């Protein structure tokens, strides 16, 4: 469909004009109409029986409604002209029965179709959601949440609209229109020609306005999407907006977005109004032609009065499908555009996925070894974050990583959990390449406790159990004790039943970190524990307590602790110093101190600072 592509490029150039609005960075991969129809088809396929029934019902309804004007003609030319009232009664009964049957059949096909549409919608939503769940971190890092939400809501709705109404209305109107033309010619070809005189103008107008309305309508949907994204962004960043007094700027940008919405909608309105006025005028002109020409025909004898009345009725009925068709075509285009966006999202395949034949894990003990073999990794081509990194950690070792912000520590942890794949080299766990393990096995062996943990809307217990009811209260409490989260939880109103706000907004960052630590202990009892600055927002005193609590745990597990406070990692079996994607020092605290390199300098600086702060009474504790 050439036309649609043209519209898209026009939309894009129009959209570029307003640089105040965030633009979706969506892949521009082209989806062919055939692929789109295929996609819609696969979702409708299970319901083909219902769809066939719907189509048959439609045919019957269209046929029956064509019967009505003909019945009027029979009445006018027969009993009414011959003043035979008795013959009028059976015709009246047939007329009434036809209307009744049409009513019942219409109800049946609408009901059936709505059911099919909703079921297909449920399937599609489920499929899309499951597809999104499979995506890797790269996808979620590069796809705005607003865009995903828009796919899951607006676009799916537009597509359902297509399935449950547009296709049917389109089909039934086409059938009716063809039927009307056919019947008109069968009844009286001269009258039919008169009746269709305005048709070419009507079709030309429809084609012209359809193009205008379609481009306006898809532009409108796009602008609505941008508007939603803008609002979402502003409200999420409200703290920054208020803190830096950006209200005026925000208001002005909103003003632009708001007015754009109006102007795009107005341009659609203009086309639609012009179009429907044109149709109305042409309808009247068409009727006038039939009345005038048909009147002559009645007088001249090549038409009857009943025919004339029937024709007027047929014409009235033919304008309706044309109007509906043009509306449906506009909707169809919107739905196709939505379907295209959904199809595009469904086409994204995660880079990180289960191997075809996963290697069964050999080591089911709590402690695992891991190895980085000549690992080079980059998020963006040409900007390596880890460079030719080699590291072997034995099972049960407690390894610490220190290094400047941006050195690549979090990236290293991410590679171990296979959130990303290496560009060169290998990452191994117990001697098996992480790419050969199933993701479930792998993630049962590596747990990362992030610096900025997420809390779900729910109680503290929900967040610890992650909504798994089989985890006992004792189990949860023990983990909370070990992670030193229990004291603060028990002080909260309701304790473990305390309701968290979305994102855990009613906890401090440090408290969220304690929860995340406890959560990791509950859910991954046999994994390599990676603490990625997991206690960075926790005061020194509590951090020391956590260390003591974890001491027991560390004994028979492998752990990787990324930290800035060197006091917490002094006792590690090994300390790695990272700099710009490389490990530059590797050894125990004492060895590195003797080496007198980067670590020694870092340690000395922190030690000095601690000494100078000694005079100040430390204010610690989780209260």
Q: Which residues bind ligand ADP (CB under 6 A)?
A: 141, 379-380, 385, 403, 405-411
Which one of the spans 31-39, 163-171, 381-389, 409-417 is the region binding Mg ion (CB under 5 A)? 409-417
Told to check if 535 binds Mg ion by CB under 5 A, we report no
DSSP letter, residue 567? G
| Nearest distance in Å: CB 22, ligand ADP | 19
d(CA 591, CA 340): 60
Contacts of 443 (CB under 8 A, 6+ apart): 417
The tokens for 15 are 């959209």
Residues listed for the chain: 623
* From 283, 410, 547, 568, residue interacting with Mg ion (rule: CB under 5 A): 410
Which one of the spans 12-20, 408-416, 589-597, 612-620 is the region binding Mg ion (CB under 5 A)? 408-416
Told to check if 559 binds Mg ion by CB under 5 A, we report no
Q: Are 432 and 423 in contact (CB under 8 A)?
A: no
| Nearest distance in Å: CB 533, ligand ADP | 8
| Nearest CB to ligand ADP, comparing residues 366 and 403 | 403
| Nearest CB to ligand ADP, comparing residues 153 and 452 | 452
With CA atoms as reference, report the closest residue to 314 among 69, 528, 482, 592.
69
- Residue 418 site contact among Mg ion, ligand ADP, none (CB < 5 to 8 Å, cut-off depends on kind): none
| Nearest CB to ligand ADP, comparing residues 405 and 612 | 405
Contacts of 547 (CB under 8 A, 6+ apart): 568
- Residue 69 site contact among ligand ADP, Mg ion, none (CB < 5 to 8 Å, cut-off depends on kind): none
| Nearest distance in Å: CB 603, Mg ion | 20
- Residue 196 site contact among ligand ADP, Mg ion, none (CB < 5 to 8 Å, cut-off depends on kind): none
| Nearest distance in Å: CB 562, Mg ion | 7
| Nearest CB to ligand ADP, comparing residues 311 and 419 | 419
| Nearest CB to ligand ADP, comparing residues 130 and 380 | 380
Q: Are 511 and 488 in contact (CB under 8 A)?
A: yes
| Nearest distance in Å: CB 599, ligand ADP | 15
Q: What is the 3 state secondary structure string of 386-454?
A: EEEEEEEECCCCEEEEEECCCCCHHHHHHHHCCCCCCCEEEEEECCEEHHHCCHHHHHCCEEEECCCCC
| Nearest CB to Mg ion, comparing residues 371 and 536 | 536
| Nearest distance in Å: CB 384, ligand ADP | 9
> What is the crossing angle of helices 305-347 and 33-44, to 10°?
100
| Nearest distance in Å: CB 407, ligand ADP | 4
Contacts of 610 (CB under 8 A, 6+ apart): 567
d(CA 201, CA 501): 61
| Nearest CB to ligand ADP, comparing residues 52 and 145 | 145
Size of the site for Mg ion (CB under 5 A): 1
Q: Burial-class residue 526 by CB neighbours within 10 Å (0-12, 13-18, 19+).
A: middle
| Nearest CB to Mg ion, comparing residues 246 and 565 | 565
With CA atoms as reference, report the closest residue to 520 among 438, 417, 437, 421.
417
| Nearest distance in Å: CB 202, ligand ADP | 56
Residue found by looking up tokens 């709505």 in the block: 114
| Nearest distance in Å: CB 351, ligand ADP | 13
| Nearest CB to Mg ion, comparing residues 286 and 403 | 403
Interface residue list for Mg ion (CB under 5 A): 410
């Amino acid at each position: 469909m050439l036309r649609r592509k043209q519209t898209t490029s026009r939309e894009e150039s129009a959209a570029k004009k307003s640089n105040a609005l965030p633009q979706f960075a969506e892949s521009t991969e082209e989806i062919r109409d055939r692929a789109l129809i295929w996609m819609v088809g696969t979702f409708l396929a299970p319901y083909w029986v219902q769809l066939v029934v719907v189509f048959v019902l439609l045919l019957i309804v269209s046929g029956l409604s064509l019967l009505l004007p003909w019945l009027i003609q029979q009445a006018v030319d027969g009993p009414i002209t011959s003043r035979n009232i008795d013959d009028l009664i059976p015709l009246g009964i047939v007329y009434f029965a036809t209307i009744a049957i049409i009513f019942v059949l219409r109800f049946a096909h609408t009901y059936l179709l709505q059911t099919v549409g909703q079921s297909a919608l449920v399937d599609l939503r489920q499929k899309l959601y499951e597809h999104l769940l499979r995506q890797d971190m790269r996808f979620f890092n590069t796809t705005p949440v607003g865009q995903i939400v828009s796919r899951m809501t607006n676009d799916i709705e537009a597509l359902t609209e297509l399935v449950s109404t547009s296709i049917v209305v389109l089909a039934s109107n086409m059938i009716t229109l063809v039927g009307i033309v056919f019947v008109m010619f069968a009844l009286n070809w001269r009258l039919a020609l008169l009746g269709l005189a305005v048709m070419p103008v009507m079709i030309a107008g429809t084609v012209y306005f359809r193009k205008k309305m379609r481009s306006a309508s898809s532009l409108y949907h796009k602008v609505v999407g941008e508007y939603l994204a803008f609002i979402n962004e502003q409200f999420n960043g409200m703290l920054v907006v208020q803190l830096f007094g950006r209200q005026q700027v925000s208001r002005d940008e909103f003003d632009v977005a708001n007015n754009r919405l109006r102007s795009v909608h107005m341009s659609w309105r203009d086309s639609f109004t012009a179009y429907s006025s044109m149709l109305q005028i042409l309808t009247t002109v068409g009727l006038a032609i039939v009345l005038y020409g048909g009147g002559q025909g009645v007088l001249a004898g090549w038409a009857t009065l009943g025919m004339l009345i029937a024709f007027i009725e047929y014409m009235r009925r033919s304008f309706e499908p044309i109007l509906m068709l043009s509306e449906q075509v506009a909707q169809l285009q919107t739905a196709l555009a939505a379907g295209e966006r959904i199809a595009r999202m469904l086409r994204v395949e995660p880079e990180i996925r289960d191997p075809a034949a996963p290697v069964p894990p050999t080591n089911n003990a709590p402690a695992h070894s891991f190895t980085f073999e000549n690992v080079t990794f980059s998020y963006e081509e040409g900007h390596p974050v880890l460079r030719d990194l080699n590291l072997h950690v034995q099972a049960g070792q407690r390894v610490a990583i220190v290094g400047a912000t941006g050195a690549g520590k979090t990236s290293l942890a991410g590679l171990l959990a296979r959130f990303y794949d290496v560009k060169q080299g290998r990452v191994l766990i117990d001697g098996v390449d992480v790419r050969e393990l199933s993701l479930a096995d792998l993630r049962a062996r590596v747990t990362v406790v992030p610096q900025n943990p997420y809390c779900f809307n729910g109680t503290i217990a929900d967040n610890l159990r992650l909504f798994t009811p089989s985890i006992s209260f004792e189990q949860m409490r023990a983990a909370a004790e070990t992670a030193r989260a229990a004291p603060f939880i028990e002080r909260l109103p309701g304790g473990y039943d305390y309701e968290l706000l979305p994102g855990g907004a009613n906890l401090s960052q440090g408290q969220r970190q304690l929860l995340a630590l406890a959560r990791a202990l509950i859910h991954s009892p046999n994994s390599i524990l990676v603490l990625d600055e997991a206690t960075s927002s926790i005061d020194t005193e509590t951090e020391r307590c956590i260390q003591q609590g974890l001491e027991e745990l560390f004994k028979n597990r492998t752990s990787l602790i990324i930290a800035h406070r060197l006091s917490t990692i002094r006792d590690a079996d090994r300390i790695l110093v990272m700099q710009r994607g490389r490990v530059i020092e590797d050894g125990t605290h004492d060895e590195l101190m003797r080496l007198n390199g980067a670590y020694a300098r870092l340690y000395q600086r922190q030690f000095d600072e601690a000494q100078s702060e000694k005079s100040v009474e430390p204010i610690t504790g989780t209260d």
